[in-house]
Structure 1
Amino acid sequence: MDENKRQKLMKKIENHLRTTARKLVKFNTEGEALQYLVNSFGEELECDLIAIVLKEGDHVVPTLYQGDFQRGIPHPPIAMANCLPRLFEGSTTFQEVEEDSPCLLIELLRKNGIKTWFSVPIKDQESEYGICMIGFRRYVSLLAEARQLFDDFGEDVALAVTVARQKETQRRKMVGLQWLAQHVSLDTPLEQFVEKIVERAGKGTNAGGACMYLYREEDNSFVVHPPLYGKVASPKQVMMKNNYRVSDYFPFLERPGGDELTVPLVVNFKTIGVLHVERKNEGTFTKEDVEILDMLANYVAVMLENVRLYQQERDHTNRLRFLLQYQQKLMKETIRHEDFHGITKTVSHMFDKAVIVFDRFMRPIAHERSGLSGQQLRQIAKQVFNQVLGKSRMGGHIQLEGLSDLSIVVWPIHNGGDAVGYLAIEASPNEMDDFFLLGVELARNIFSIQFMKQKLVFETKEQLKDSFLHKLLAAEIEDEESIIQYANVFQWNIFEEHRLAVLHLQMDESNGTIDLVKQNAEKTVLWNRLKVRIAAEDSSLLYGAVEDQYILIAPAARERKKPEKYWSEWHQRISRWINEEKTSYRVFLGIGGKASSIGDYYVSYRQAMQALQVMIRNFPGKSVAFFDELGAYTVLHHLKELEAAKLFVDKYLGPLLRHSVGRNADWLQTVRVFLDCNGHLTETAERLYIHRSTLQYRLEKIEEMLGFSLQGAEQRFNLMMALKLYDLYGLPSAKMLKK
Structure 2
Amino acid sequence: MLSNQVLQRAVSEMEAIAGGACSVWSLDGYRIVLSGSESEGTAERVKRFLKDVKEDSEPGMEEIRTGYALFAVFDEEKPAYILSLENMSGEKAEIVGRLGVKELESLIRAYKEKVDKNRFLQNLLLDNMLLVDVFNQAKKLHIENDQKRVIYLIEANASDNQFLLEVLKGMYASGMKDFVTAVDEGSVILIKALEETEGYREVYEKARALVDTVSAEAMVNVRVAYGTIIHELKDVSKSYKEAGMAMDVGKIFYAEKTILAYNELGIGRLIHQIPVSLCEMFLKEVFGDKDVEQFEEETLSTVFKFFENSLNISETARQLYIHRNTLVYRLEKIQKMTGLDVRVFEDALTFKIAMMVSEHMKYMKQ
TM-score range, shorter chain: 0.5 to 0.7
Question: Hey, what does 1:77 align to over in structure 2?
Answer: none
Q: CA deviation at 1:648?
A: 2.5
Question: Which residue does the alignment assign to 1:530?
Answer: 168
Q: Show the counterpart of 1:644.
A: 278
1:705 corresponding residue in structure 2: 337
- TM-score scaled by length of structure 2: 0.58
**What residue ranges of structure 1 are gaps of 5+ in the alignment?**
1-316, 339-449, 473-477, 508-518
**How many residues get paired?**
279
- 2:307 is matched with which residue: 669, 675, 693? 675
The aligned runs of 1:328-727 (5 Å cut-off) are 328-336=98-106, 338=107, 458-459=114-115, 461-471=117-127, 479-494=130-145, 496-505=147-156, 507=157, 519-521=158-160, 523-536=161-174, 538-546=175-183, 548-555=186-193, 557-558=194-195, 560-573=197-210, 575-581=212-218, 583=219, 585-595=220-230, 601=236, 603-615=238-250, 619=254, 622-633=257-268, 636=270, 643-649=277-283, 651-652=285-286, 655=290, 657-659=292-294, 665=297, 668-684=300-316, 695-723=327-355
Q: How far apart are 1:484 and its partner, in Å?
A: 4.4
Residues 497 and 594 of structure 1 are in contact (CA less than 8 Å); yes or no, is this contact kept in structure 2?
A: yes
Identity %: 20
CA 1:733–1:590 in 2, change beyond 3 Å: closer, same or farther? Answer: closer
SS in 1 for 2:343: coil
Q: Which amino acid aligns with 1:731?
A: K
Q: Which has the higher strand share?
A: 1
Larger Cα Rg: Structure 1 or Structure 2? Answer: 1
Shift of 1:535: 0.8
> What SS class does the counterpart of residue 362 from structure 2 fall into?
coil
In the superposition, the TM-score normalised over structure 1's length comes to: 0.32
C-alpha distance in structure 1 between counterparts of 2:216 and 2:89, whole Å: 46
Partner SS, residue 213 of structure 2: helix
Once residues 652 and 544 of structure 1 are traced to their aligned partners in structure 2, the CA distance between those partners, rounded to angstroms, is 44
1:462 alignment partner AA: N
1:34-73 equivalences under 5 Å are: none
Deviation at 1:553, TM superposition (A): 2.9
Q: Residues 650 and 732 of structure 1 are in contact (CA less than 8 Å); yes or no, is this contact kept in structure 2?
A: no
The amino acid that maps onto 1:500 is: I
Q: Distance in 1 between matches of 2:115 and 2:243?
A: 26
Please state how far the C-alpha of 1:332 moved relative to its aligned partner: 1.5
Q: Which residue identity lines up with residue 121 of structure 2 in the other structure?
A: K
| Paired amino acid for 1:644 | L
How far does residue 631 in structure 1 lie from its aligned partner after superposition? Answer: 4.2
Taking a change above 3 Å as real, the CA distance of residues 613 and 723 of structure 1, as seen in their structure-2 partners, is farther
**Residue correspondence of structure 1 range 232-243 to structure 2 within 5 A:** none
- Cα distance in 2 for residues equivalent to 1:650 and 1:558: 49
State the Cα deviation string for residues 356-409 of structure 1 (Å, max 9, x = none): xxxxxxxxxxxxxxxxxxxxxxxxxxxxxxxxxxxxxxxxxxxxxxxxxxxxxx
Partner residue in 1 for 2:18 = none
Describe how 1:41-120 pairs up with structure 2 within 5 A: none
Task: List per-residue Cα deviations over 1:665-707 (Å, max 9, x = no partner).
Answer: 3755543332121122454456668776664454333223222
Structure 2 residue runs of 5 or longer lacking an equivalent are: 1-86
Counterpart residue type for residue 592 of structure 1: G
SS in 2 for 1:466: helix
SS in 2 for 1:593: coil
SS in 2 for 1:540: coil
Between 1 and 2, higher relative CO (CA 8 Å, sep ≥ 6) is seen in 2
Could you say what the CA RMSD is over the residues aligned between the two structures, in angstroms? 4.3
**Secondary structure of 2:223 counterpart:** strand
